[in-house]
Structure 1
Amino acid sequence: MPPSLFSRLFGSSPSEFKLQINTPELTVTAQAKESLLLAALNQGIALPYNCRVGGCGECKCRLVSGKVKELTDKSYLLSAEELKQNYILACQSLPKSDVVIEVALRQGQVNHPIVETSARITALKPLTHDILHVQMEAEQPLSYTAGQYAEIVIPDAAESAAGQGRSYSFATAHDPARPHAVDFFIRKVAHGAFTEWLFTKAERGQLLQLRGPYGDFCLRPGDSPLVCIAGGSGLAPVKALLEQAIKDKQGNRPLVLLFGARTKQDLYGLDAIDQIRREWTGRFVFEPILSNEAASSTWAGRKGLITDHLKALLGERLPDYQAYMCGPPPMIDACVEVFTQGGMPASQIFFDKFLDSGHTAHPKP
């Protein structure tokens, strides 16, 4: 049947819809194949979010009217009351009609235009056996806030298995004098097509596609003492956040920095941490904690899980701290539980869960 006749008989499927966010004055165009979250972000509306893969729940919003296609199961993230009130995850919902949502917009902590540009690899430096320092020079200038991340794609169609974008946090504070320079600490993921390519085939001079910045994980202003926790490649945004704090004259706040790793061989970035220590004007405590160091090791530092040491390190002032955490979801979930049980308000807890292909959202059956 000719397409024109099909359209007259059955109607055509529209490729875009209207997305209203809270009020009619805040209405944008949403493509049928992009999530509500991306539709908003691409048009400069700062919906709250962190992971963009249905793993954190930060982008939850109430579907007031319209139809969406939900890509994943949301019940494991939303409460029974939220499900009853028709809450959805904006990052996992594609519009099937014009849509109206209600969401609590965050005010102006992070507000940079999203840039899509090619970027050339300028250096590849192994930091540990499974973490690589990747330095790149973007063709277009890129502004971001420390704590945010970018999506990186191999543009070569031959690398189809790795061609999907992967998200990585910036590993340094933004330098206005070098607006094209970006750095990442990237961990090798078992059976991960992208990192397998990066660790075995990538070379200096190769072009990748970069899009960002994304995320609203960033240092909030104030004078509260800080506890920063990094696990694995989660050191990247924490390091950047602390470098930015020094630039913004917030390095006078008391700081406890915890770095979780498996063994001594998995520790890295210690010179950069020492540089932060030298420039930090407030109280500075740094504790690397090893979870799998051999009993016969000469390691004299702390062992076990980070949660084993939180109360001892923070003491009775635990509720007074602002917490910033980046790393594996189990580590962050366990720390959040200790903090909340210890009386720290949820409004003072900020985190970015590092989700690989094994931690992405639960697909709907």
Structure 2
Amino acid sequence: MEYEICLEPSGVRFKADENQNIVEAAKAHHVAIKHGCASGSCGDCKGTILSGESEQGPFMPLLLLPTERAAGMAILCKLYPRSNLRLQAEVISGDIWNTEIVGLSKLAWNVLELRLRPEKPYPYRSGQYARMAVPGQENQWRSYSMATPPQDWGELVFHIRELPGGLFSRWLFYQAQCGDAITLGPPQGDFALQDNTRPLLCIAAGTGLAPIEAIIQESMHTGQTRPIHLFYGA
């Protein structure tokens, strides 16, 4: 059975089957709801149920605080309609950026530094991430954080870890070459350097260092003198 989904405040409407989660149904109608992992692990697709019946599928429990649950918030990539729904959700730009691989270098046996040159400026903030289309795989996207603040020459830098069986990472490690094309969606994420003088406490592990590295570099390049403490686990 299909139901009508209305997103506020954009007013966007689309149909969703009872077996489709909200993010998946939106994609099928070329509506881009802000999201990241699409597996209930990151929380980027948080929204609020304003009216209607739905079923919330499993997700990482810490993504919603008790107060958020009480306020009707939900993880939209795991939310299934059981009636017409009215939701508060962020709709992002459907713009894409065509980029060219200009650098591939190993940082470790299982980590590559990927450098991309976009055909037009990519308007991101340090700490944000980009969604990359998996070459040759329709509707398959992967999310990676930029590892440097915005550069005057426009290059984007990413640290990619090889995952066993990973569609994108294995293509990157064993097939990709400089000159190959990669499509990006718009920058996403609210993790960014705040404009204040409070000390920075940064904790990261593995390639999760990338967005923090960008934030620390920006803090230093802009002449900020706040204390910065970094705890890193390889």
Q: Is the TM value for this pair above 0.5? A: yes
Q: Separation in 2 of the partners of 1:96 and 1:137?
A: 44
Alignment partner of 2:210: what SS?
A: helix
Match of 2:122 in 1: 142
Match of 1:228 in 2: 202
One of 156, 163, 166 as aligned partner of 1:182: 156
Cα drift, residue 85 of structure 1: 5.7
Match of 1:164 in 2: 140
Cα drift, residue 18 of structure 1: 2.3
One of 62, 65, 86 as aligned partner of 2:51: 65
Contact 2:49 2:72 in 1 (8 A): yes
Alignment partner of 1:140: what SS?
A: coil
Q: 1:258 to 1:81 in 2, by over 3 A?
A: closer
Question: Which whole-Å deviations, capped at 9, do the CAs of 1:73-111 have from their partners, x for residues lacking one?
Answer: 1483446675566432134336676532357x9xxxxxx
Q: 1:34 to 1:140 in 2, by over 3 A?
A: farther
Q: 1:50 to 1:218 in 2, by over 3 A?
A: farther
Matched, 1:76 2:70: no
Q: Separation in 1 of the partners of 2:196 and 2:168?
A: 39
Q: 1:75 to 1:34 in 2, by over 3 A?
A: closer
TM-score (norm 2): 0.78
* Larger radius of gyration between Structure 1 and Structure 2: 1
- Residues 1-365 of structure 1 mapped to structure 2, 5 A cutoff: 13=2, 17-21=5-9, 26-30=10-14, 32=16, 35=22, 52-57=38-43, 59-68=45-54, 70=56, 72-74=57-59, 76-77=61-62, 78=64, 83=69, 86-93=72-79, 98-101=84-87, 115-157=95-137, 164-175=140-151, 177-179=152-154, 181-249=155-223, 251-261=224-234
Contact 2:147 2:214 in 1 (8 A): yes
Q: Separation in 1 of the partners of 2:25 and 2:225?
A: 37
Q: Separation in 1 of the partners of 2:202 and 2:104?
A: 27
Task: Give the structure with the higher percent strand.
Answer: 2
Question: Which whole-Å deviations, capped at 9, do the CAs of 1:198-226 have from their partners, x for residues lacking one?
Answer: 11111111112211201111111211111
5+ residue gaps, structure 2, are: none
Q: Separation in 2 of the partners of 1:63 and 1:34?
A: 14
Of stretches 77-86 and 230-239 in structure 1, the one that deviates more from structure 2 is: 77-86
Q: 1:245 to 1:52 in 2, by over 3 A?
A: farther
Cα drift, residue 119 of structure 1: 1.6
Root mean square deviation, CA, Å: 3.6
What percentage of residue pairs aligned between the two structures are identical?
A: 31
Q: 1:136 to 1:60 in 2, by over 3 A?
A: closer
Q: Separation in 1 of the partners of 2:96 and 2:103?
A: 21
5+ residue gaps, structure 1, are: 1-11, 106-111, 262-365
TM-score (norm 1): 0.53
Letter in 2 for 1:101: L
Q: 1:75 to 1:205 in 2, by over 3 A?
A: closer
Q: Separation in 1 of the partners of 2:31 and 2:195?
A: 27
Number of residue pairs the alignment of both structures matches: 227
Cα drift, residue 44 of structure 1: 9.4
Q: 1:82 to 1:122 in 2, by over 3 A?
A: closer
Q: Separation in 1 of the partners of 2:228 and 2:45?
A: 29
Q: Separation in 2 of the partners of 1:174 and 1:76?
A: 34
Larger RCO: 1 or 2 (CA < 8 Å, sep 6+): 2
